[in-house]
Amino acid sequence: MAAVLILLTIQGVWAVYRYDGRGAEDRGYFTLYVVIWAFVPCVMAFLLFLVAHAERYSARYFIFCAPPLAVMTLLAVENIFLSAKKLLSKIKALDPARHYVRYSLIYAIVVALAIAAPGGRQAASLINEDYRGIAQLVVNTVRGNPSESYVLYEANHTGTLNYYLPKMSKGGVRVEDKIRPSYEKLSAQKFREKIDEIDGHDFLIVAFTHKRLKSYPRTVRRLDELYTRHITQLDRRGRGIIVWDTRK
């Protein structure tokens, strides 16, 4: 199917090129339009992430590519039947193209189910991560010991918890900084410089939201060496909070 989609792309480009952009068949323009709709957003996203040095690909970013890909898939199936018609042109009793046109709705449903069913099942069974619950853990921890000073870091590319924390703590708790996955590659000295805001606080809270505990083995090991682990509240997938006592 992938090979047919590639050939369909070439067919659309060739249809427009062949007529020099003037008087081209509507089918050729339509095919080219669908191809651009399907692939240009993906290319633009790749270039954007490449320039920003932040690769955060997620299937939901490309959901708008699903309609053109569905159309391309059906066009590809149609081309398969048209090719079969040419190969079997000597056998008059067989006309795959006519058969396809007659039962095109059935074929469309079968192809749609074959493509959408696996992703639909995955989406239906996807566990919605409880970021609000993690934020509540942070707030409860800080409120449980108001006489002590806490500093909160989030293990992620970007901050997530600052969306929830102001509402839950009335502005009293916020993420001070992020512990990025790239910190795993830092030397001990560089790592210490990155988290220098910890000094002067009694406790360090690291919240694991999008990125789980297993993404930070070296970071967690270094923090265990520097400080005393005080609280560990993680679910079975490694999301939650770890609190370190930073007092010497």
Render pLDDT for 184-240 as a digit per residue (tens, 0 to 9). 887 777 777 767 767 778 999 999 988 888 888 988 998 898 889 999 999 888 899
Is 191 in contact with 224 (CB distance < 8 Å)? no
Identify the pLDDT of residue 13. Answer: 67
Average confidence score pLDDT of the chain: 77
Task: Assess contact for 155 and 215: CB atoms under 8 A.
Answer: yes
Distance CA 108, CA 2 (A): 17
pLDDT (0 to 100) of residue 138? 93
Average the pLDDT over 89-105 and give the result.
Answer: 65
**Euclidean distance between CA atoms 29 and 225, whole angstroms:** 63
Strand-pairing partners, residue 231, are 243
Instruction: Say what the pLDDT of residue 18 is.
Output: 65
Mean per-residue pLDDT, 126-141: 84
Residue corresponding to tokens 């995955």: 122
Closest CA to 151 of 201, 222, 225: 201
Q: pTM value?
A: 0.56
For the chain, how long is the longest CA-to-CA vector? 90
* Residues 152-177, mean pLDDT to the nearest whole number: 85
Please state the domain extents for the chain.
2-125, 131-245
Q: What are phi and psi of 216, to 5 degrees?
A: -130, 50
- Name the H helices within 88-230: 96-102, 104-125, 131-143, 165-169, 188-194, 217-226
Q: Would the pLDDT of 1 be above 80?
A: no
Residue 197 neighbours by CB under 8 Å, 6+ apart:
151, 176, 177
| 75 Cβ neighbours under 8 A, 6+ residues apart | 8, 31, 34
| Strands 240-245 vs 228-234: parallel, antiparallel or unpaired | antiparallel
CATH, range 131-245:
3.40.50
Structural contact between residues 202 and 149, judged by C-beta atoms closer than 8 angstroms: yes
pLDDT band at 167 (very low <50, low <70, confident <90, very high): confident
> What is the 3-state composition of the chain as percent helix, strand, coil, each rounded to the nearest 5?
60, 10, 30
Q: Of 137, 151, 171, which Cα lies nearest the Cα of 241?
A: 137
Q: What's the pLDDT score for residue 242?
A: 94
